[in-house]
Structure 1
Amino acid sequence: MAETPGLMTVLLLHLLMVDAKDFNLTCIVQDDCILPCSFRPTGTVVIHWYKQQIPVHSYYYNKDQFGLQNKHFSGRTCLFNSHIPHGNASLLLRRVKVQDKGRYKCYTSTRKGNQEVFINLEVKAPIQSVMMEMTDDLLTCSSQNIHPVPHVTWATDPPPDHGFTENSTLKITDHKGLYTVESSLRILGNLSHNTYFCSFTSADKTQEWTSSWRNQEDVTQEEGHALSVPCVAPHTVQNFSLTWTFSSSTDPAVILRFDSRTRLVSNQWEGRAELDQNLLLLGNGSLLIHKPDREEHSGTYTCTFSGLQSRHVVQTRVNITEASVGECRTFYKMFLFLSNHRIAVV
């Protein structure tokens, strides 16, 4: 008995039924990323990947087909061919770009019907570092190669009673879609010895990088007398590295480095300067200089704590003065001078 047209229509619709699914996926710029897709394997299969209407990758006649592939994806896509017979139509997207962001469709067709799976792909370039510099009364905080653009905030310790600064933030995107963000803070009034904090928070709030800067008051010490140049982290730090540098009229030179994970010290001023490692593990990285010399050790000392998503800089100007002569010694020299002068006159 012939089947009715109505029954034939229902059977046809069942065979062509679209099993629509949506997935959200985030990939990292320059990393390789897998866009998942599976189907019910029954013999040969046709696979098409699209971004909106743009052809990304095709597979039929049991092999990859690149004739219609958009050049943006050329050389950056592949399927797991040995797993296709088991129902795996996932796409490997290599060297992810910001421009890869969008809605992807995985279309598969077998003799049992067709299926569509949709992937909403987000792309991000995480914050890798935040650098801070100070020139006169201007602090600059910057980070590069980020996507999407992060949020920047400033703070100071101690908090000011009134408006203390003027700030502005510049956001520039390059041809790859990556942002360089530079935020500047102008210090108003006599607040140059405060600690200033700059924080970069990622758009999805999964990252927060903080950099801080403190210009300490000048330190003056007579040569030959032991000197401690203070440096204390503003908060608890773990798994950090500490670097001390010195500069006078030349480029900064490294004094020493310390790694809290290995507790190893690389000291270029061995015998002249050292750290107290017991205090250091508590966040106190003060530098002890044993016998400072006026010509060799007068200059700017910079202490940098670098930890997980944090960087803290303390800068101190040190003036080493000539050792003063005791009063008795001065009187004795004057006595000898006058005595010799009197003898000469006689």
Structure 2
Amino acid sequence: MFIGRMCLGISPLVLVSLSFLWAFTRGDTVIDCDIKGSCILPCRFQASDEEVIHWIQEKPASASAHSYYYKKDQLTLQHPRFKGRTSLFLDQLSNGNASLQLNEVEARDEGRYKCYTSTVAGHDQSFVQLNVDAPVLKVNIDRKGNTITCSSEGLYPEPKLTWSTDPPSVSLQNNTTVRLSGQELYNISSFLNLPNNDVNVTCTVQTRKNRRKTTLTRTTTQTSEKDSELSCTLPAPPRTNLVWRFNQNEDILRQDSNEEPVVSDTWGKHFVDLSASGSLVLKDLTSDEEGQYTCEASNSEETLRSDTLLTIEETQESSSDHTGVIIGVVLVVSCCIIIGIIYWCKKRAQTQGNDPVL
């Protein structure tokens, strides 16, 4: 009863202020959206006549995202970067739905949005915090001598990069650089110097939404005859894709999930099989196919890269074949010479037999 008397004694101005304070402190709705995707920023109001709706990006800078009144969209004052990317659910306004759909989301769309609504029944406002993410899709890793390079591109917000080795290394001297691209996305790269290559090296890149890692295993050396089987290290299932390359930039084959491998035209004549363990079986290799063979296999969280330096050893059978060819050529040439001499001798004898007697 005492509390009721107190409330009756509060002026209308104080009640309005308390109502506004409650609306402000009830908290923002948080929406997460991936870059280039579509998002719905929610907003509800008390449905009535003469709707006025304003969506404003308050932070990091004030910008009009979308307006509606007089029964139609009013986009004269809309900020240019929102042009063609916003819309209301016009068929749901009568139900009190003033939500905004934002398409082709950009990194600079991140921020705090205010939804202001007004009708003959009154006005209200609510707030939405939009978080934009460009997750880590791929971590590239490469080795040149004792220097390992790791990079990833098109990330948001600012990512972090870490190195690790197996077996563990006490000190990993690295140099990491983060750059902001023209689309306000982050590119990160790092260089790691190792005293030797007898370790597995892992590079991990992490953003707010996810993280991925790529592991470069120890480089192996293999000497084979014209038929070779090259091994691959696979990540934990389910595997999403596998790629075999020659000398880093020439594709041999690609395989997505559990589909059949797609072999390049150049390597079709050498391809025999791709085993369940990822091993690549090739045939009829020559010295032209000597070099670095790389297997990259990925799942949803990591990529494992295996490098094999292959040397082709000439087989005894090949040597015999070569020797046989050489002997055959020598015999043919010798026979031609002998036949030529015999023919010349016969012609000479005939010439001498026809000479007149003096």
Q: Same fold (TM over 0.5)?
A: yes
Q: CA 1:231/1:67 → structure 2, altered by over 3 Å: closer, same or farther? A: closer
Aligned twin of 2:328: none
Aligned twin of 1:238: 238
Counterpart of 1:43, as a letter, is D
Alignment of 1:196-345 (within 5 A): 196-203=201-208, 206-221=209-224, 223-224=225-226, 226-233=227-234, 235-247=235-247, 252-264=249-261, 266=263, 269=267, 272-275=270-273, 277=275, 280=276, 284-290=277-283, 292-293=285-286, 295-323=287-315
Q: Give, in angstroms, the shift of residue 267 of structure 1.
A: 7.0
Aligned twin of 1:94: 103
CA deviation string 1:178-224 (max 9, x = no partner): 10011211112x3x132211111222xx4121112134232223x35
Aligned twin of 1:51: 57
In structure 1, how many angstroms separate the alpha carbons of the residues matched to 2:246 and 2:308?
A: 10
Residue 174 (1) aligns with residue 177 (2)? no
Q: CA 1:185/1:60 → structure 2, altered by over 3 Å: closer, same or farther? A: same
CA deviation string 1:60-109 (max 9, x = no partner): 22122223323332333222222112211111222222222221111111
Contact map agreement 2:236 2:299 (CA 8 A) in 1: no
In structure 2, how many angstroms separate the alpha carbons of the residues matched to 1:125 and 1:207?
A: 9
Contact map agreement 1:15 1:112 (CA 8 A) in 2: no
Which one has the largest radius of gyration? 2
Q: Give, in angstroms, the shift of residue 17 of structure 1.
A: 5.3
- Greater helix share, 1 or 2? 2
Question: Structure 2-normalised TM-score?
Answer: 0.74
Residue 34 (1) aligns with residue 59 (2)? no
Aligned twin of 1:10: 12
In structure 2, how many angstroms separate the alpha carbons of the residues matched to 1:263 and 1:130?
A: 25
Three-state SS of the structure 1 residue aligned to 2:184 is coil
Contact map agreement 2:233 2:297 (CA 8 A) in 1: no
Three-state SS of the structure 2 residue aligned to 1:231 is coil
Q: Give, in angstroms, the shift of residue 172 of structure 1.
A: 0.2
Contact map agreement 1:138 1:186 (CA 8 A) in 2: yes
In structure 1, how many angstroms separate the alpha carbons of the residues matched to 2:212 and 2:309?
A: 27
Moved more, 74-83 or 194-203: 74-83
Question: Structure 1-normalised TM-score?
Answer: 0.77
Contact map agreement 1:15 1:113 (CA 8 A) in 2: no
Structure 2 unmatched runs, 5+: 1-7, 318-358
Contact map agreement 1:107 1:116 (CA 8 A) in 2: yes
Q: How many residues align?
A: 302
In structure 1, how many angstroms separate the alpha carbons of the residues matched to 2:240 and 2:94?
A: 50
Q: CA 1:271/1:303 → structure 2, altered by over 3 Å: closer, same or farther? A: same
Contact map agreement 2:253 2:261 (CA 8 A) in 1: no
Contact map agreement 1:259 1:265 (CA 8 A) in 2: no
In structure 1, how many angstroms separate the alpha carbons of the residues matched to 2:132 and 2:268?
A: 48
Aligned twin of 2:141: 132
Aligned twin of 1:335: none
Q: Give, in angstroms, the shift of residue 169 of structure 1.
A: 1.0
Contact map agreement 2:246 2:294 (CA 8 A) in 1: yes
Counterpart of 1:254, as a letter, is D
